[in-house]
Amino acid sequence: MLRIFRLIFAVCIVLNFMLVTSVIHLFSTDVWRERKLLSKVLKAYNKWMLVALGIKINIKGQVNNVQGKLIVCNHMSYLDVFMLAALYPTSYVTSVEMRDTPVLGWLCRLGSCVFVERRNKVNIQNEIKEITQALQKNLTVTIFPEATSTNGDEVIRFRKPLFNAALFAKADVLPICINYRRLDGKEVNKENRDDVCWYGDMSFGPHFLKYFRYSRFEVDIEFLPVIPFSETRDLDTLVNMSHTAVKSAYDRFTPVVETPIGLSEIESVEPLNV
In a domain, 102, yes or no: yes
Distance CA 241, CA 264 (A): 30
Domain that holds residue 215: 2-266
User: pLDDT of 54-97, one tens digit each?
Assistant: 999 999 987 768 999 999 999 999 999 999 999 999 988 876 66
Confidence of residue 256 (pLDDT cuts 50, 70, 90): very low
Domain count, the chain: 1
Distance CA 17, CA 3 (A): 21
Rounded to an integer, the average pLDDT of 32-45 is 90
User: pLDDT of 118-169, one tens digit each?
Assistant: 666 667 888 899 899 999 999 999 999 998 999 999 999 999 999 999 999 9
In three-state secondary structure terms, 94 is: strand
Report the CATH number that the domain containing residue 220 is assigned in CATH. 3.40.1130
In a domain, 273, yes or no: no
In a domain, 96, yes or no: yes
User: pLDDT of 90-110, one tens digit each?
Assistant: 988 876 666 666 666 667 767
In a domain, 248, yes or no: yes
Distance CA 99, CA 221 (A): 25
User: pLDDT of 193-227, one tens digit each?
Assistant: 999 999 999 998 899 999 999 999 999 999 999 99
Cβ atoms of residues 262 and 59 within 8 Å: yes
In a domain, 271, yes or no: no
User: pLDDT of 163-191, one tens digit each?
Assistant: 999 999 999 999 999 999 999 999 999 99
In a domain, 274, yes or no: no
Give the pLDDT of residue 117: 67
Give the pLDDT of residue 264: 36
